Amino acid sequence: MSCLSPLLAAAETGAALDAPDWLMIAVYFAVLLGVACWVVRRGKDTAADYFLAGRNLGWWVIGASIFASNIGSEHIVGLAGSGAKDGVAMAHYELHAWCLLVLAWVFVPFYARSLVFTMPEFLERRFSPASRYMLSVVSLITFIVSKIAVGIFAGGVVFETLLPDMRLYLGGHVIDSFWIGSVLVIVLTGLYTALGGMRAVAYNDAVQTLVLITGSAVLTIYGLHTLGGWGELRRICGSEMFNLWKPLIPAGVEGTWAPIIAKSASGNVVREAWYFNSNFPWLGMAICAPIIGLWYWCTDQYIVQRALGAPNQQIARRGSIFAAFLKLFPVYLFIIPGLICFALAKSGKVPGLAPIVHNGVAVPQEAQAAFPMMVKYLLPSGLRGIVVAGLLSALMGSLAGVFNACSTLFTVDLYEKWRPRASQHQLVRMGRAATVVMVLIALAWVPVVRGSHGLYEYLQAVQGYLAPPIFVVFFFGVFFKRLNAQGCLAALVAGFVIGVFRMLVDTPVMMRLPGFENGYAEGSLLWIVNNINFQYFSVLITLVSAVVMVLVSHLTSQPEYGKMAGLTFGTAAAEDRRLTRASWDWRDVLASAAILAAILGAYLYFRG
């Protein structure tokens, strides 16, 4: 008998959290509180310290903070749920460690030279103040409807799964564990974020990364042991769930590319020229996923803010490379547990997981709770508490990062422009107040997330609608000096309008509002828009934004190249290039090459 067997037997009933679990969680939060208090005592009440930790973070703190902020609620809950439902399809997004290498080698020199606080501020220096304001508004909306709302929802899922009997009676209304958990996560995270700012976020992220990786690794080992090993996992799941490259045409669709013949829900034959809504076709993954990845890792305030906290290019680059190394783990620590959960449920070896599967197929809504359900039904007392602490660390790390990014964007890019004479103390106070307001808005958006078919799918869809114009203006702006402010603003407006239009079309269907339970009338324009795969629609927005930017720029006057010195490849001085070359050596190159080799190995293995 294995040494794990007695512990597994003790966990089979899926008992609620008990005293040893709560003790472990209490110890974990005591450590976080201690780190936050230490940070507050060291910090200064200035904008540079609150928003960028005084630009004095070490490379390992930067890398761990990037990883912990990214691997948050949407990854722990969403990736495991996607793994249980769709196999390794979403691993494409997790193998985007190479995008962090693009940040390290391509964008870090420009950001380091500019000494900016925010990405919109960089866009202002490259193009115009109007571009800065537009990007600030778009970024804030993106944070609210994706990162904050998704983080709140995931926190609710964890509490709803682990503490289903928790209730609060308020004024004759019953508040269930989902909403209690959502609010608790917000309050706890907001407290240390508001008090300590970016420094508290970064150092707590470093602690959370260790707990997160350890807890997830433990759950994966226990799951594989219970199932019977890796070979049994592949046998039960089948080759399709281990295939990264999904077919262009979904199962059940007859015919060829144009036109494709499919049957609608009502049984009628419908001609869908190319607008079928298949999940994760390989063409969409090959084009759309890198667009979202490069936007997220290279231009999103939420991520890049950590690199901006470095004292120089070398530290920022090495922090980004370290984050790329850590980014290799999620496929095996979050997606694979989802597959294990599906296999355990399908095999009947853990009866408590049975709701995950119906007739041999994963149930989308139930699959979203795959990770916390495995924690509940597989792990013994005490160890369960450590993994729950890891879950909470992910939830808090993700939300803490976006809270700080939101307050930075609003305060530096908007409020400081309205009140240029505001004191440093007023800027910090306004940043805290802005975070509270945005959290309340996100709470109101949670029902939309709750009605989606999958947490991670919702997140990628929203980012796919809002990210393309930002990707276009940053990448085109750095590589092509001829593109001007008019083209940048036109691209941002055009792409944002199309993206918001798609979101507004999708929202009534996801919320199942009266009259929209079955979607739009078949064959109508809104029905077609709603059924275009989100990845193809994202590519459409990217193409429109790029064409608009190039056309408008070439139909208007050239920019003043002297004002963008050092902000594009074409305007970088010889001294700038010399300093960049001096900031790296063979160790940085070797580490980057090793990461690329690991990514290639994963692509070769997960071919079904």
pLDDT tens, 195-229? Answer: 555 455 556 666 676 777 787 888 889 889 999 89
The residue ranking higher by pLDDT, 410 or 274, is 410
Q: Residue 263: in which H helix or E strand, if any?
A: strand 260-263
pTM exceeds 0.85: no
Which residues touch 150 (CB under 8 Å, ≥6 apart)?
73, 74, 78, 449, 455, 458, 459
| pLDDT greater at residue 382 or residue 364 | 382
H helix intervals, 379-484: 383-408, 416-418, 424-450, 455-466, 468-479
CB atoms within 10 A of CB 585: 10
* Band (248; pLDDT cuts 50, 70, 90): low
Give CA–CA dist 148/474, Å, rounded: 24
The model's pLDDT over 139-186, given as tens digits with 9 standing for 90+, comes to 888 878 877 777 777 777 777 777 777 777 776 677 777 777 777 777
Distance CA 51, CA 36 (A): 15
Give the percent of the chain with pLDDT over 90: 17
Question: Taking residues 391-400, what's their average pLDDT?
Answer: 70
Which residue's structure tokens are 């056309």? 551
Mean residue pLDDT of the chain comes to: 77
CB atoms within 10 A of CB 532: 18
Of 18-22, 47-51, 499-503, 546-550, where does mean pLDDT reach its minimum? 47-51
Token pair belonging to 286: 């090959």
pLDDT confidence tier of residue 409, bands split at 50, 70 and 90: confident
pLDDT tens-digit map of 421-474: 777 777 777 877 777 777 777 777 777 676 666 666 777 888 889 899 999 999
Question: For residue 10, which of 378, 348, 344, 350 has the smallest C-alpha distance?
Answer: 378
Instruction: Please enumerate in sequence order all residues whose Cβ is within 8 A of that of 350, keeping only pairs 6 or more positions apart, or say none.
Output: 12, 226, 344, 377, 378
How far apart CA 403 and CA 383 sit, in angstroms, is 30
- Is pLDDT above 80 for 1? no
pLDDT at 254: 40
Rounded Cα distance between 150 and 462, Å, is 11
Higher pLDDT pick, 256 / 133:
133
Omega before 259 within 30 of 0, i.e. cis = yes
Whole-number percent of the chain with pLDDT over 70: 79
Return the pLDDT at 249. 59
Contact 349, 226 (CB under 8 A): yes
pLDDT of residue 195: 55
Q: Is 130 helix (H, G, I), strand (E, B) or coil?
A: helix
- The predicted-structure confidence for 96-119, as pLDDT tens digits, reads as follows 889 999 999 998 888 878 777 778
- Could you identify the residue written with the tokens 């459409």? 540
Report pLDDT for 367.
Answer: 79
Domains, the chain, in order of start with CATH, read: 5-246+281-605 (1.20.1730.10)
Burial of 518 (0-12, 13-18, 19+ CB in 10 A): exposed
| Amino acid identity for residue 260 in this structure | I
* Contact by Cβ (8 Å): 389, 211: yes
Of 44-53, 147-156, 422-431, 503-512, the poorest mean pLDDT is in 44-53
Greater model confidence, 264 or 535: 535
Region of residue 521 (phi > 0: left; psi between -120 and 50: alpha; otherwise: beta): beta
